[in-house]
Structure 1
Amino acid sequence: MLRLLRPLLLLLLLPPPGSPEPLGLAQLSPGSPPQAPDLLYADGLRAYAAGAWGPAVALLREALRSRAALGRARLDCGASCAAEPGAALPAVLLGAPEPDSGPEATQGSWEQQLLRAALRRADCLTQCAARRLGPGGAARLRVVRALRDAFRRREPYNYLQRAYYQLKKLDLAAAAAHTFFVANPMHLQMREDMAKYRRMSGVQPQSFRDLETPPHWAVYDTSLELLGRQEAGLALPRLEEALQGSLAQMESCRADCEGPEEQQGAEEEEEDGAGSQGGLYEAIAGHWVRVLQCRQRCVEEMATRPGRSFPVPDFLPSQLRRLHEAYAQVGNLSQAIENVLSVLLFYPEDEAAKGALNQYQAQLGEPRPGLGPREDIQRFILRSLGEKRQLYYAMEHLGTNFKDPDPWTPAALIPEALREKLREDQEKRPWDHEPPKPKPLTYWKDVLLLEGVTLTQDSRQLNGSERAVLDGLLTPAECGVLLQLAKDAAGAGARSGYRGRRSPHTPHERFEGLTVLKAAQMARSGTVGSQGAKLLLEVSERVRTLTQAYFSPERPLHLSFTHLVCRSAIEGEQEQRMDLSHPVHADNCVLDPDTGECWREPPAYTYRDYSGLLYLNDDFQGGDLFFTEPNALTVTARVRPRCGRLVAFSSGGENPHGVWAVTRGRRCALALWHTWAPEHREQEWLEAKELLQESEEEEEEEEEEEEMPSKDPSPEPPGRRHQGVRDKAGKPPRVREEL
């Protein structure tokens, strides 16, 4: 009965219509114990599917708060119970396990201490959780891994933004959409929704706020802005707050690692290498190793920005470097020394840090007693090194796995037997297979498969790998036919692939897209001319043949996707424009500019192997294609579009590229992607070809029937007789009425 009444009870908690909503998501049920997040989330999705937007909002919000309350309770209870007398673990567990631990009496002593401390800690945690979370404590609110992943991906906000929109709460709808989009920047549907929210009159710029931003990231970004303006005095409090927030975020993550252990599958046990072997001590060791592995991963989680796949390298040491430099700028040399000494705890041989330390000490004059590294950093490093010792011991003696997230771990800490293996693992590239290596110039040759096609620039001239610019693939007349096709299709309202009027990448441009199948369907209905649709198919095959001959003569390429796209500058919105028409990206991997890596994993189109852009015009301003280094900042080459010019390149992380803003006019191009995988061949291309062939055959049959003399002298029915009649615009009357 309570399960059935929950949506109605939560609906009563919603504010009345017209009442102001909070900036964030305020507590709906203060003072009452939280309910199970998984049940709340499941009920919220049911209400969403039924179109009950009010209950859906209440349930989803309560699920988010219930999960947050569970995390806070676990963190607070863990800290308070660890500080209780008699709850400390035996000292033997704080360092590396010793294989020869002494006589049996001593071994029994530490074993009793361990079990006694574990029992006391468990009793304390159970009672604390019951006080904070109600009867049953954390066991009642246990969150399964699938739900944790959904919350980590911020999926509830995807449903919330839609529900808020239906409730006419546009401010919160935009906030929820932005919160989801920050963590899922490759989500195309949400990208379109964000563009729509920006065009709505009831949505203000401040509506686009991240409701889940970790506090340390917000403060850290503010401090960087202040440092960029040379305001070190104002930046210092925020830098300190960011460092403390980073350490607090790590403690919260570590507390989650001590939650209930889920049953692992065979694949997960093989990956962790810490599966239970059936005995008491093996089970204890396996669980403890998994907890330690989880704790060590918290460094990466804390250093990973929302929406990014990989952490900022050396995040904690980099914060300490900025701190000691900022303190030195304002003349606080004691604090500068404290922070630079903390950097040396991570990297004792860092020449820049040692040089800064000598400079600060010389400026300070007489040495001051008590100056040393920060205590919070000392505690962090000592605890981390103790955990690493245990993990490396388990790795060497128990066959478990451990990927050290820190580059500062001393080599002496790693057992000699493991160093060579770890060195080989670190040298492996992050993608599934090696990217194509640059071929010698003698390999490249001018491709003369098509008359009039010339190689304008090769990879050497474009300062990269597997890039080429070829001219002469289209005549001016062919460019005109395809431009007219794009114009007619846009006029008829065909925007396949992108339904919004504005570009999904920038609010300052309009974006129109046409696929080969849509073009064939429109040609079949008479909306556009069949000549343009046929030429679209012919040209795409022309580009595929040329790309295969140039880059992959030994292995066939297949068209994966073909898209005729036009970008138009919106008048009156080009002043002081700083964005790009298309941000820097790679076509088959997720580019991480912070690390310079490109990870061939979803949501990227991992099956794409080569890309091509065939330009149709040049009567516009801006819109140049450019290639960059993996940092997405350093431009290595720039290509100006023109009719018949093809830019072809491999689709991986070796070719990050973007498009400069189109500030005037309309830029049209045929975008093509090729794949070696036959199963990813573009099926719509084949369907379009069949559709156009059928139309051509029907036209031929009608012509034959008109030429044959009729045996029946009676007149034909009006509908059949006037089927070929067209108006002054050249369109059938039926099509004109539809338009």
Structure 2
Amino acid sequence: MPPKARKRITEKCKLHQNSSKDDATENGSGNVQQDDTNQGRIKIPWNRMLMRFVLIGGLIFAMQMFSKQDDLVAFAKQDETVSNRRHSVPCSKDYADDIKKFKDCAPKHCGRVVMDGLIKDSEAKQLLKIAKQGLSLGGSNGGASILDLHSGALSKGDAFIDVYQLIDSQGLNIFTTKDFDLYKRVASKIQLAIAGEFSIPANSIHLTHPTFFSRMTNKPAKTIHDEYWHPHVDKETYTTFDYTSLLYLSNYGDDFDGGRFIFIDKKANSTIEPKLGRLSFFTSGSENQHYVEKVSKGTRYAMTISFTCNKKEKIKYPTLRK
């Protein structure tokens, strides 16, 4: 080989070795990274890698959430009879003001309770009839409708109307005096049960707004009022709430699928499967964050009855309007 040619080859080899050493130094390791020009250096797509990490992280989070939801603990199943089942939880700081203002009423201990049998089947069936009759005059375009006999609010389309004005304008006879007597009797039973379970005087808690019948179906949500499945805390939504109760008026698995009531807990969420006449109640603070599972089939009826320690937020029982 001619000396000039050998010299050129030797110089190229030295250049290649020096370039490799520089790249290794920049990488902070002994791995040589090729140059991206003539030597075909690999360019790392950092943006793509970052997006992949984000997507993978989101997937892992979603899998954890679904895994937790699959790992549900049944607090009360539909096919069992629960005379009185309690679960205590530490009280949140949400009652700080109530403890100062309403010492006798504010929760001394917090938790959740389920009872079957306190409300008779005949009473629950009559309340279901009242709910169906009232809600038949309206109904949301989405999957959730309410009937509030105190204010007269009735879901209609994407808004609310006054059910009593509608009844008057059309000369209808929907409700009777017996209906309202039953409503008061059932709410009073629940008030006494809450007072007994949480060791407070019964006359220290008062019925408060909103208290209403609800109907849930699998129709797609049209407004924010239809989106009942979001996790929430009652006392954050309604600051006057101290105790929340739910009376179920239809059966999970028979009248509807989905629609279970779910408490959000640290280890495993716990569920209540609705059952005609089943009563559940709980302290309203963030110790009992919860949501209702989406109804996938059928129709779910229930009655929400709320109580407050603040006498100024007390509402009267509804009566037949003439």
TM-score range, shorter chain: 0.5 to 0.7
Secondary structure of 1:617's counterpart equals coil
| Residues 28-68 of structure 1 deviation map (CA, whole Å, 9 limit, x = unaligned) | xxxxxxxxxxxxxxxxxxxxxxxxxxxxxxxxxxxxxxxxx
523 and 485 in structure 1: CA distance in 2 versus 1, 3 angstrom threshold: farther
Among 94, 115, 120, the residue aligned to 1:470: 115
Other-structure match for 1:227 = 53
Among 190, 210, 213, the residue aligned to 1:564: 213
| Residues 475-515 of structure 1 deviation map (CA, whole Å, 9 limit, x = unaligned) | 3332222222222212222x6xxxx421xxxxxx2423333
Structure 1 unaligned runs (5+)?
A: 1-221, 232-452, 503-508, 590-603, 696-739
Q: Are the aligned partners of 2:206 and 2:309 in contact in 1 as well (CA < 8 Å)?
A: yes
Shift of 1:223: 9.4
Q: Alignment RMSD, CA only? A: 3.5
Q: Are the aligned partners of 1:621 and 1:664 in contact in 2 as well (CA < 8 Å)?
A: yes
Other-structure match for 2:86 = 458
Secondary structure of 2:234's counterpart equals coil
Other-structure match for 1:355 = none
Q: Are the aligned partners of 1:474 and 1:644 in contact in 2 as well (CA < 8 Å)?
A: yes
Alignment of 1:156-175 (within 5 A): none
Q: Are the aligned partners of 2:256 and 2:300 in contact in 1 as well (CA < 8 Å)?
A: yes
Shift of 1:566: 1.0
- Figure out how many residues of one structure are paired with residues of the other and give that number: 212
Q: Is 2:190 the partner of 1:547?
A: no
CA distance in 2, matches of 1:677, 1:492: 33
Q: Are the aligned partners of 2:232 and 2:290 in contact in 1 as well (CA < 8 Å)?
A: yes
230 and 536 in structure 1: CA distance in 2 versus 1, 3 angstrom threshold: same
Q: Are the aligned partners of 1:469 and 1:646 in contact in 2 as well (CA < 8 Å)?
A: yes
| Residues 568-611 of structure 1 deviation map (CA, whole Å, 9 limit, x = unaligned) | 122xx69xxxx97421111112xxxxxxxxxxxxxx32121111
CA distance in 1, matches of 2:129, 2:56: 53
Other-structure match for 1:354 = none
| Residues 148-198 of structure 1 deviation map (CA, whole Å, 9 limit, x = unaligned) | xxxxxxxxxxxxxxxxxxxxxxxxxxxxxxxxxxxxxxxxxxxxxxxxxxx
614 and 668 in structure 1: CA distance in 2 versus 1, 3 angstrom threshold: same
Secondary structure of 2:286's counterpart equals coil
CA distance in 2, matches of 1:537, 1:640: 25
Among 163, 174, 184, the residue aligned to 1:537: 184
CA distance in 1, matches of 2:307, 2:122: 26
675 and 225 in structure 1: CA distance in 2 versus 1, 3 angstrom threshold: farther
Residue identity opposite 1:536 in structure 2: Y
Other-structure match for 2:43 = none
CA distance in 1, matches of 2:286, 2:150: 28
Give the alignment's TM-score, normalised by structure 1: 0.26
Secondary structure of 1:582's counterpart equals coil
CA distance in 2, matches of 1:224, 1:675: 50
| Residues 98-152 of structure 1 deviation map (CA, whole Å, 9 limit, x = unaligned) | xxxxxxxxxxxxxxxxxxxxxxxxxxxxxxxxxxxxxxxxxxxxxxxxxxxxxxx
Q: Are the aligned partners of 2:248 and 2:303 in contact in 1 as well (CA < 8 Å)?
A: yes
469 and 514 in structure 1: CA distance in 2 versus 1, 3 angstrom threshold: same
510 and 517 in structure 1: CA distance in 2 versus 1, 3 angstrom threshold: closer
Q: Are the aligned partners of 1:474 and 1:643 in contact in 2 as well (CA < 8 Å)?
A: no
Q: Are the aligned partners of 1:627 and 1:655 in contact in 2 as well (CA < 8 Å)?
A: yes
Structure 2 unaligned runs (5+)?
A: 1-47, 58-80, 90-108, 154-162
Q: Is 2:146 the partner of 1:501?
A: no
Residue identity opposite 1:606 in structure 2: T
637 and 230 in structure 1: CA distance in 2 versus 1, 3 angstrom threshold: closer
Shift of 1:551: 1.5
Shift of 1:682: 1.4
Other-structure match for 1:648 = 281
Give the alignment's TM-score, normalised by structure 2: 0.57
CA distance in 2, matches of 1:613, 1:224: 47
Residue identity opposite 1:227 in structure 2: F
Among 627, 646, 660, the residue aligned to 2:263: 627
Q: Is 2:301 the partner of 1:663?
A: no
Residue identity opposite 1:540 in structure 2: A
Secondary structure of 2:122's counterpart equals helix
Shift of 1:612: 0.5
Identity score, percent: 25
Q: Are the aligned partners of 2:144 and 2:228 in contact in 1 as well (CA < 8 Å)?
A: no
Alignment of 1:61-210 (within 5 A): none
Other-structure match for 1:261 = none
CA distance in 2, matches of 1:540, 1:669: 13
Secondary structure of 2:299's counterpart equals strand
Among 120, 136, 143, the residue aligned to 1:491: 136
CA distance in 2, matches of 1:667, 1:455: 22
Q: Is 2:150 the partner of 1:516?
A: yes
230 and 670 in structure 1: CA distance in 2 versus 1, 3 angstrom threshold: closer
Secondary structure of 1:609's counterpart equals strand
CA distance in 1, matches of 2:246, 2:269: 18
Q: Are the aligned partners of 1:514 and 1:564 in contact in 2 as well (CA < 8 Å)?
A: yes
Among 310, 315, 322, the residue aligned to 1:682: 315
Q: Are the aligned partners of 2:119 and 2:279 in contact in 1 as well (CA < 8 Å)?
A: no
CA distance in 2, matches of 1:486, 1:514: 10
526 and 580 in structure 1: CA distance in 2 versus 1, 3 angstrom threshold: closer
Other-structure match for 1:481 = 126
